[in-house]
């Protein structure tokens, strides 16, 4: 449902460290790096400033980090609500307004 790259981006933005994000996400550092480059290409703006000292968020990256975290929380909350309604739908077929 949510593009995995956005979830990985959130972890990278939080830790500001690709190696730590890779450990948390159970991925390789190369995979994390590739996904972040793909996300930047898809969006069309750099999200990170990379240096020998590590990474920092660009203004666009900071904006996306705050917006994405709010969006992901809302999607997860609505998904849980729909799952609960679906569980009830097995008992009450009209729970979604029409038979399943």
Torsion sign, CA atoms 21, 23, 24, 25: positive
100 found inside a domain: no
Which pLDDT value is given to residue 98? 56
Question: Considering the entire predicted model, what is its pTM?
Answer: 0.70
For the chain, how many structural domains are there in total?
1
65 found inside a domain: yes
Residue position matching structure tokens 């666009």? 60
Q: Quickly count: other Cβ atoms within 10 Å of residue 21's Cβ.
A: 24
54 torsion bin: left (phi>0), alpha (psi -120 to 50), beta (else): left
Which pLDDT value is given to residue 1? 45
54 found inside a domain: yes
98 found inside a domain: no
Tell me which residue range forms the domain holding 78.
4-91
72 found inside a domain: yes
Residues of the chain with pLDDT under 50: 1
Structure tokens at 61: 């990256």
């Amino acid at each position: 449902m949510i593009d995995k790259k956005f979830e990985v981006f959130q972890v990278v933005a939080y830790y500001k460290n690709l190696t730590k994000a890779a450990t948390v996400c159970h991925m390789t550092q190369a995979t994390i790096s590739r996904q972040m480059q793909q996300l930047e290409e898809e969006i069309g703006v750099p999200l990170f400033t990379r240096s020998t000292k590590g990474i920092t968020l660009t203004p666009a990256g900071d904006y996306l980090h705050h917006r994405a975290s709010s969006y992901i929380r809302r999607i997860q909350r609505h998904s849980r609500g729909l799952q609960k309604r679906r569980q009830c739908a097995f008992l009450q077929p009209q729970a979604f307004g029409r038979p399943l």
